[in-house]
Every structure is written in structure tokens, then in C-alpha cells.
Amino acid sequence: MKRIAVALALVLAIGGLALSAETTVLKVKVQTANIRTQPDLNAAVIKQVKMGTLFESSQTAGDWYEISVTNDLGVTLTAYVHANVVDVISGPGLAVQPEAQPVVRPAPAPARTPSYERRPAPETTYPGGFKIMAAYGMASLTYSEDPAEEYNEYKKSLMGLAGGVGFYSGGLLGVDVGLMYLPKGIRYEGSLSGSDFDVKMRISEISVPVLLRFNLPVQGINPYLLGGGEIAYVAQAKYDYTISGGGDSDSGSEDIKDDVASIDYGLVFGGGLGISLSGINLVAELRYHLGLANLVKDPEEGDPTVKSNMLVFLAGFRF
């Protein structure tokens, strides 16, 4: 009889533990929810999950549910999700208590100060994605010793259309990688000795910029800074000329690809702004490309170095 009583007590105790550890099933109810390392809005974000994601929780900490998630390396971690961003599908659930309100003493007048509820400010997120952009560039060349110094007053930027695609990672600090067409070069235009001339040296490059991207913490819009390097393949090099005067004119084009190095590289600096208008995600950027490579192929001793530089305005869509 005594053994039966002890066994019955154990069964009741185990049953009580099972009930106290009942699992709560949660479902994310916002577009994007942050999963954090600690039950604190200032804690680091492990990952972001989308609406409809399901979790199981058997522990709570204040207004937070303790859950298990798997990071990008496949490691299972203990994490926390705030009760404001999930619905309870089954289980006991968590009653979110509002913050304690200050005691408002009634004034002698009948009017009372209305009570209020503080809510945490919405968090700024930085998702990654793709972008496609058209561009307009202003290019020039820099010489260590200018062989055409007497024509510097006629030197102008070479204008041209550019464009490309890119991928950028999420987070406050990420990576921005692209594939772009850039029309670099220089232009000389003016009048000399009674003749008008227009000479354009065109160096068409396929560029791969690899940049660090720092997203500035501004709500509603996405301003960011860019900095890094690029490596480019010189696909074409030629110069076009037009000379007119005294009723005569001459024009033509000459391929100089054999005289120009095949690889160009340099630094890239700039910034951009992402914004959503009526559900359309737009992006605009300003970049400066500072060439570091000598574009002269097989230079001889004493030959001047030639390096490219370009200011590019870009605009397009992000996905």
C-alpha cells in the first residue's frame, strides 16, 4: 500500500512538471522580426525571419519568448523573440505587460492628464538584395608628365553613358559587388590656327567593383557610404577625331587597343540613397573611380604614366 502511494505521488509530480513545461507555438505576425541573443531590444540580432515563421517556446523572460534557432553555420542557438511580433497559435501564451505608468496627481481643476502607453520605436533594418542601374559618367586621364601640355586649355571631360548590376549584403556593415560598363577616356576640343578640332580618346572597360557598404541608421530611407576597389578589363580603346577649317574637314577613328594595357584597377569612393515610392524600390548613387594602374602597355623608361579617373552618377531599381 505504501509503494502504491509513493508511485501515485511520483505520477502526480511528473504530471505537474509536464503541465508547467507546456510548449507554446508561436507564429511571426509582422513583415520582418528580429531574433536576438538576449531578451533586450539593444541585444545583437542573430537573424531576421519573415511573417508566418513558426517557433516553439517553453520559457519566457519578461515580454520575451525563449526559442531555438539555427545560424548560417548550422549551429543551434538559444535566442529570444519579443511578444509584440508573434501570435500564440497554441499553448499558454504570454500576457505582455505595458510599462509602469507614472502616477499623475489630479490638479485642482477637474481636467485630468490622459494616461498613455509607451511603445518601443520601430527598428531600422538593412536587408540585402540586387540592383540594376543606368549611369552617366564624366571621365578624364591623368599624366605624370603631360605630353600635350600646350593643349591643356582644350582638355575636357569625356561624357558617356554607363550602367550595370550589383548585389549587396544586409546588415549595418556589408559588401557591395557589381558588374559595370564604364566609358573612360579624355577629350580635347577647341580652335587652333584657324582650325576647329575635336579629339576623343575612348577606353571602354568592364569593371568589377568590390566595396564595403555602411548603412547609415536613418528610418524611412536608406542612405549609405561606399568604399573599396575595382578591377577592370579594357574591352576597347580608340580615338575619334574631327578637324575642320578653311572649308575643308577631316574625321576618322583609329584603334589603339594594342597600345593600352588590358587590365585597369583603382579605388572607388561614394555613397547612395535607397527609397521606396508607391511600392517601387529606387536607388541613386554617386561614385568616384580613381585609377592606380598605368594604362600604357609595355612602357619604356622615361615614358609618362597614364591613369584613369571618372565621376559616375547612377540611378535604378533594387530588388
pLDDT at 129: 92
Are 189 and 154 contacting, i.e. CB atoms less than 8 angstroms apart? Answer: yes
Cβ atoms within 10 Å, residue 105: 7
Burial 147-162 (b: 16+ CB within 10 A, else e): eeeeeeebbeebebeb
| Residue 23 CA, distance from chain mean position | 39
Of the candidate CATH numbers 2.30.30.40, 1.10.3720.10, 3.90.650.10, 2.60.40.2470, the domain formed by 2-90 belongs to 2.30.30.40
pLDDT at 100: 42
Give the DSSP letter of residue 220.
Answer: S
Q: Which CATH architecture best describes the domain 129-318? A: Beta Barrel (2.40)
Closest CA to 209 of 169, 251, 180, 173: 180
User: For residue 68, what are the CA distances in angstroms to 28, 34, 47?
Assistant: 14, 13, 12
Model pLDDT for residues 111-148, shown as the tens digit of each residue: 565 555 565 555 556 788 999 999 999 999 998 886 66
Closest CA to 44 of 83, 80, 86, 68: 80
Strand partners, 45: 36
Look at the block and give the residue holding cell 520559457. 59
Are 194 and 152 contacting, i.e. CB atoms less than 8 angstroms apart? Answer: no
Domains 2-90 and 129-318 alike in fold: no
Sign of torsion over alpha carbons 125, 47, 210, 316: negative
Q: Give the integer Cα–Cα distance in Å for 208 and 105.
A: 66
Beta pairing class for 222-245 and 263-277: antiparallel
pLDDT at 106: 59
Q: Give the integer Cα–Cα distance in Å for 126 and 121.
A: 16
Are 271 and 108 contacting, i.e. CB atoms less than 8 angstroms apart? Answer: no
Are 273 and 300 contacting, i.e. CB atoms less than 8 angstroms apart? Answer: no
User: CA gyration radius for the chain?
Assistant: 32
- Segments of the chain scoring below 70 in pLDDT: 1-21, 92-125, 146-148
Q: Where are the domains of the chain?
A: 2-90, 129-318
